Structure 1
């Protein structure tokens, strides 16, 4: 549970630029338009860096959602609250991840931005997946972002990536050890892939151990969300009737045991490069033959 500190007084907050509800200020506008010169001038003249608008948007939110890294730096150096939340609960880091601005994300992290917000909240990692920003997904995971963070509406970041058909983001999550069968109301990422009729996603999820027999809260398997006779339905039907090979099952089992450390650990094993590639889900070259 998030603990809220007691607030001394409204006038004290206004003096420090906190909690004062207003329309967009000049600082907001400069930050939103990336006008670093004007922003610097306003801050030098004593403008309040943490002024909030009616929707609790701060100038730092504005700069981050537009990816204006120079303005982000100016605001942070002037004392902007790095974890300020707007009316939707989003932080500047959420906005930077949504915008896909690696530079802004790095600046916020350098200033101590919270990577994992309270439970049941749309996290920065969720936002990166929603926007299809795989590089931000990689960075957030490297900073310790929880891949099993569960938003009460969307589920895990993997659910979001699959629902939005961002295969690159899903691949990053799965390779980093995300739970392929994590459920929201018993609905898995494979259910989402079936709903959006994305065969590539379906095949990738199954290769990573996705359960084609999993049933959601309506008792439906993924195949029941695919249009009958469609490529997605045919793919799921094949996987239901054809067990994974021993190679595939061994790879899934090994990676489940290793979890987030799978890629680093597998790379250090004394195995032929082509086996390492197989375990790391790296596409083999045309000369590779795992049966030899």
Structure 2
């Protein structure tokens, strides 16, 4: 009689053990389903523009708030974006995190810089704000400052350790400043070591950007920098895109005057001055000037031969 009883007990134990495993598997699948659902829900809110609700879901269910604050708009963000310095300082004294992040990784320092609020930016940096913080799109506070032409914020950031040059695939401060003609920002970036020859695959160099956008003051600055560094290829590129060889700096010096003596750049500039421009080049610059920098992207739509359109677009 003991045999059947023992076998029945073993079967009962195996059944209970099997139920435990099934319960664990069911719980795992349920948690996985919840996480996938929350991810989809968060994405849905982001697409619909309701980032506040998406941030709340992230903070509540994924526990991101243990070390950094994942909120869509903290009081510090609001004060920084509006330039309310006194309120900002009070919030900092109350212990608010100066590196609080939105769901897009935007910090209060990003907001201060895009609003051209230099005093707020300085207060945040003095309280420990990360000057090289990057959003999910790779945007830094320095990029924001250059985007709006805030020379004050640009200099404050650079003085406190902001990197003047971004990674090659991230938004570039010097390209942004150059494309919008923010000469003061370009000058600050160059002073702090930004590489005017940095090439970005979809943008080219900052010099190329200055020429394409026909930003005269930025082109002048970059032309002088290229001349001083004996960058003959860069000087040639700028002149090809219409840079003025007779432009003068604050000391009334032309590019040939600041070029290193007996350098290749000096020799090239002297020859260029004495050589008449090609008629084709003069026509190209004249046509591009008539079209205007805001409409250069429409050159490909002109009813012209394929080779001529490419010539006008420097292809």
SS at structure 2 position matched to 1:169: helix
What is the aligned length?
201
Q: 1:190 to 1:30 in 2, by over 3 A?
A: same
Residues 153-195 of structure 1, C-alpha deviation per residue, up to 9 Å, x if partnerless?
A: 211111222222210001100101175755xxxxx6567x4xx
Match of 1:145 in 2: 194
Match of 2:65 in 1: 14
Superposed counterparts of 1:52-67, under 5 Å = 52-67=101-116
Match of 1:161 in 2: 210
TM-score, normalization: structure 2? 0.55
One of 115, 130, 133 as aligned partner of 2:164? 115
Q: 1:228 to 1:167 in 2, by over 3 A?
A: closer
**Which 5+ residue runs of structure 2 have no aligned equivalent?**
1-61, 247-254, 256-268, 293-315
Residues 108-158 of structure 1, C-alpha deviation per residue, up to 9 Å, x if partnerless?
A: 122111112223433222222122121221221111110111222211111
Residues 217-251 of structure 1, C-alpha deviation per residue, up to 9 Å, x if partnerless?
A: xxx9896686499799xxxxxxxxxxxxxxxxxxx
Superposed counterparts of 1:29-178, under 5 Å = 29-177=78-226
Give distance in 2, aligned partners of 1:166 and 1:97: 15
* Distance apart, 1:30 and its partner CA: 0.7
Q: 1:176 to 1:189 in 2, by over 3 A?
A: closer
SS at structure 2 position matched to 1:22: coil
Q: 1:102 to 1:227 in 2, by over 3 A?
A: closer
* Distance apart, 1:22 and its partner CA: 2.9
Give distance in 1, aligned partners of 2:146 and 2:130: 17
**Would the aligned equivalents of 1:34 and 1:68 in 2 still touch at CA under 8 Å?**
yes
- Bigger Rg, which one: 2
Q: 1:90 to 1:204 in 2, by over 3 A?
A: farther
SS at structure 1 position matched to 2:171: coil
**Would the aligned equivalents of 2:132 and 2:140 in 1 still touch at CA under 8 Å?**
yes
**Would the aligned equivalents of 2:145 and 2:154 in 1 still touch at CA under 8 Å?**
yes
Residues 68-118 of structure 1, C-alpha deviation per residue, up to 9 Å, x if partnerless?
A: 011101111111111001132121111112222222122112211111222
Give distance in 1, aligned partners of 2:288 and 2:201: 31
Q: 1:224 to 1:51 in 2, by over 3 A?
A: same
**Would the aligned equivalents of 2:137 and 2:170 in 1 still touch at CA under 8 Å?**
no
**Would the aligned equivalents of 1:31 and 1:59 in 2 still touch at CA under 8 Å?**
yes
Give distance in 2, aligned partners of 1:111 and 1:15: 27
Q: Which has the higher helix share?
A: 2
Q: 1:73 to 1:124 in 2, by over 3 A?
A: same
* Distance apart, 1:36 and its partner CA: 0.8
SS at structure 2 position matched to 1:138: helix
SS at structure 1 position matched to 2:226: coil
